[in-house]
A and B are shown apart, each in its own frame.
Chain A
Amino acid sequence: MSLRWYLGRLAAALLIGGVTAGSLAVAQQRDPAYAAARSAGQIGEKMDGYLGFVVPPSADVKRLVEDLNIKRKAVYAQQAQAQHATVEEYALTAGCLAISRTVSGEKYQAPDGSWATRGAGPPQRDARCP
C-alpha cells in the first residue's frame, strides 16, 4: 500500500515535471505565426540585426515583428553595455550571425540592401562579418 502510494506520487511528480519542462520548451520556441511568416518569406533577417518586411505585412505580422524587434533591441542594449560596445555594433554583429543561421528558403538582406533568398550555400554577407 505504502509502496503503491509512493510509486503513485513518483509518477505524478514525473508527470508534472515532464509537463512543466514541456511547456518551458514550448515557450522557448518561435511563435508559430512568426515561424510561418519567416518560412513563407514574408519577413527576413536584416543586416542591422532586426527583422524586416519583405512584402507589405498584415496587421498581425507587423505587430509580431515590431514586438520581436523591440525585444531584440532590449537584449542587444543589455549585452552591448556588458561588452562595452554600442547597441548598433552589437546589433550588426547579431545580424551577421542571424543571417548565417537562416535556413534554405528564408529571406535575408544582402550587402546591397536587397532581399535575397537563402539557398543551399552560404549567404551573401557584409565583408566585416565573422
Chain B
Amino acid sequence: MNHPELTDRLRLATSLPMQERNRVGPGRSRKVAQAALVLMSGSMALGGCISVNAPDKPIVIELNINIKQEVIYRLAEDAGNTIDKNPEIF
C-alpha cells in the first residue's frame, strides 16, 4: 500500500527538473512554429501571386517556340492542300 505513494512522490520529485527542461523545449518549439507559420504564410502569399499571373497568353507562344522554321516550310505545301480539300472547316 505504501509503495504506490512512494513512487508517486518520487515521480513528482523527478518530474520537476524534467518540467524545467521541458520549459526550455516548448520555448524553442514555439520559435520553430512561429518560423514555420511565417514561412507558410509567405509561401501562401507567393502561391497566390503565381495563381493570378500564370494563365497568360505568352505561355502558348513559348510552347510553339520549339517548332522549327524548317519543319513549317516542309509541311507548308501539304497543309495548303489540306485547307483546299476541307473548305467547310477552314
Contact = CB atoms under 8 A, between A and B. Distances in A.
B87 A128 contact: no
Contacts of B82: 75-76, 79, 94
Interface residues of A, number: 33
B57 A79 contact: no
Nearest to A96: B72
Interface string B46-71: 00000000000110110110011101
Interface residues of B, number: 25
B19 interface: no
B14 interface: no
A130 interface: yes
B88 A85 contact: no
B83 interface: yes
Given A29-B87, A72-B89, A85-B71, A90 B79 contact: yes
Contacts, number: 78
B86 interface: yes
A113 interface: yes
Interface string A44-71: 0001100000000000000000001001
A88 B67 contact: yes
Given A28-B88, A72-B90, A89-B71, A101 B83 contact: yes
A97 interface: yes
B89 A113 contact: no
Q: Which of B68, B73, B83 has the most CB of A within 10 A?
A: B83
Contacts of B90: 72, 94, 98, 101
Interface of B: 57-58, 60-61, 63-64, 67-69, 71-76, 78-80, 82-83, 86-90
